[in-house]
Amino acid sequence: MFISGHGSVKVLERTVSYILIVLAVCLWELISRSGIVSIALFPPPSTVFFKLYLMVASGVLLQEYFTTLYRVLVGFLSGAILGMVFGVLIAYSRIASRTLYPIIAMFSVMPTLALVPLLIIWIGLNDMLAITAVFLCSFIPLAYNTVSGTRHIDPEVIDVAKTLGASRLELLAKILLPQALPSIFSALKLEAAMAWKTCFVTEFIALSSGLGRLMIEALNTLSVDEMIALLLILALSSYGFVRFFEELEKSFLAKWGYRV
């Protein structure tokens, strides 16, 4: 292949990565079929994909998938939006900074899943449990990163905006929040995958619906092909979610001239 420019290099890289994936799947199939390991413990991809087809055809998978998707979207988006608002407020208000920032900083180092047992007692075993776990998983990092992002804004940007006549609200909405976007997007990308994991594990531990519940059922019946199929769906969903925010980041920051 003749490589003429940057675009061609990208196509080549992508083609190589697809070939590697196909090779890995072939190797997996070969090892499973060779009898080196038990086919029941390490089913070949053909069996996994067939199982996936059966799960989709029966309608069970889609129903549970949409339940998990709903929890992830509601929890993540509400957490992210509120996290950003809180972050800007903390960065801008000295009182909020002194009172709320230490709490946010403390919770930012705590894994959200550690809070799930407590949430079970406070909220009960329902949709809100998973939504709250996902909410916390996005809210705290987003608030923390927004504070960091706004604190790194050149103070002279704020001075200039004031001399131009910006009110406090205009300063927050039109200057601070957009200028903090590089930090915000870093958090969004990191936490997007974490939201799926948190929801999956919360369902797995405590709920009777969603992909996590299917995982527990598969474990109970020792259906390894179903477990691998579920993990594939989880990985693809997380990846898709992260890619969505990467593209969103590119559409904003690359346009502004930031290196993305």
Partner 1 sequence: MTEIEIVSVRNYALKNVNLKFKDKEFSIVLGPSGAGKTTLLKVIAGVVKYKGHVYFNGKCVDNVFPGERKVGYVPQSLALFNHMTVWDNVAFGLKVRGISEKIVYEKVSYTLKLMDIYHLRNKYPLKLSGGERQRVAIARALAIEPKILLLDEPFSNLHVSLKLELLSKIISISKEKGLNVIIATHNLDYTEMLNERTVVLNDGKVVYDGMFKDLLLRKEILNILPIVSLHVDSIEPLVNGLSLAKVGNLKIIVPWEREDNNVRAIIIPSDKIVLSNIPQRIQANTYPALVRDIHMVNSWVNLSLEIKDVYLEIKIPYSSIKDLKNIKKGVIVYIKFPIRHIRVI
* Using rule CB under 8 A, residue 257 touches partner 1: yes
* Using rule CB under 8 A, residue 94 touches partner 1: no
Q: Distance of CA 163 to CAs 158, 167, 175, Å?
A: 9, 10, 13
Q: How many CB atoms lie within 10 A of CB 187?
A: 24
Q: Tokens at residue 152, please?
A: 């790194």
Q: Which of 5, 41, 121, 154 binds partner 1 (CB under 8 A)?
A: 154
Q: Which of 69, 161, 193, 216 binds partner 1 (CB under 8 A)?
A: 161
Part in contact with partner 1 (CB under 8 A); list of ranges 121-129, 174-182, 210-218, 239-247: 174-182
Q: Which of 157, 219, 235, 236 binds partner 1 (CB under 8 A)?
A: 157
What does R_g of the chain's alpha carbons equal in angstroms? 23
Q: Which of 159, 221, 235, 236 binds partner 1 (CB under 8 A)?
A: 159
With H, G, I as helix, E, B as strand and everything else as coil, classify residue 138. helix
Q: Which of 20, 31, 258, 260 binds partner 1 (CB under 8 A)?
A: 258
Spell out, one character per residue from 217 to 256, where the chain touches partner 1: x when CB under 8 A holds, - when not: -----------------------------------x--xx
Question: For residue 91, how far is the Cα from the chain centroid?
Answer: 25
Q: Tokens at residue 87, please?
A: 């972050």
Q: Distance of CA 127 to CAs 62, 111, 135, 204, 218, Å?
A: 17, 20, 12, 13, 21
Closest to partner 1 by CB, 62 or 260: 260
* Using rule CB under 8 A, residue 164 touches partner 1: yes
Closest to partner 1 by CB, 176 or 242: 176
Q: Which of 48, 84, 140, 181 binds partner 1 (CB under 8 A)?
A: 181
Closest to partner 1 by CB, 15 or 251: 251
Closest Cα partner for 83 from 174, 168, 191, 200? 191
For residue 200, with 0-12 CB atoms within 10 Å meaning exposed, 13-18 middle and 19 or more buried, which class applies?
buried
Q: Which residues bind partner 1 (CB under 8 A)?
A: 154, 156-157, 159-167, 170, 174-175, 178-179, 181, 252, 255-258
